Amino acid sequence: MLLQFLSLHLYPVRTQVMSQAYAIELYFDPALENQVLKAWNVLARRQISTQLIEIESRPHITLFSSPFIDLSKLENIIKTFASKQEPLALSFSSIGSLPNDSNVLFLAPTPSLSLLQFHSQLCDAMKKEGVEIGEDYRPDVWIPYCPVAEEVPKSRMAEAFTVLRDLKLPVTGYAMEIGLVEFSPVRELFSFVLGNTTEA
């Protein structure tokens, strides 16, 4: 099993006290979401990490994040973009860790052409409307991942990896929704089903 070690930020401003920021997130079908939640719950029961549960997050891949947004503009962009997309096949095939102070563990999807094009097309749609894409989310830099634990004590990293290996990867399913949240704690502002203009 491939283990990835990447220098990324899950939510760039989470460490700042009382800071608010926003993220566009990709959500999964119920079966795939439950597989990720299973990992969250096992890690929580073992008291390795409860952070994602405590901030009321939802299993996701972050597509974009910024401390400042034009909410109505972004809602129109995402609604139009979602209506032109179809559910996206995903396969979480490896486990990774972010070597920073947050001690994040994640599941990494196979970076398929369809997933990379999905993200690139979203960035193009935002840039056309004057939305600035931060360094970590530019199409030539962005690496997709689904967080499963944050603030894991260094002394328990090996145990956490062992727990995640029990998931029997790859875990497959579909991305079904795209939405905007503010954090932290996480509050969903809106989401749209891919291939549909109706709010989820």
Q: CATH 3.90.1140.10: does it fit domain 20-193?
A: yes
Residue 184's pLDDT band (boundaries 50, 70, 90)? confident
Q: Please spell the DSSP secondary structure of 162-183, one letter per residue.
A: HHHHTT-S-EEEEEEEEEEEEE
Three-class DSSP category at 67: coil
Question: 102 or 171: which carries more pLDDT confidence?
Answer: 171
Query: Among candidates 88, 97, 93, which has minimal Cα distance to 110?
Result: 93
Q: Name the most confidently modeled range: 17-21, 24-28, 141-145.
A: 24-28
Reply yes or no on whether the pLDDT at 58 is more than 60: yes
Distance from C-alpha of 192 to C-alpha of 81, rounded to nearest angstrom: 9
pTM: 0.87
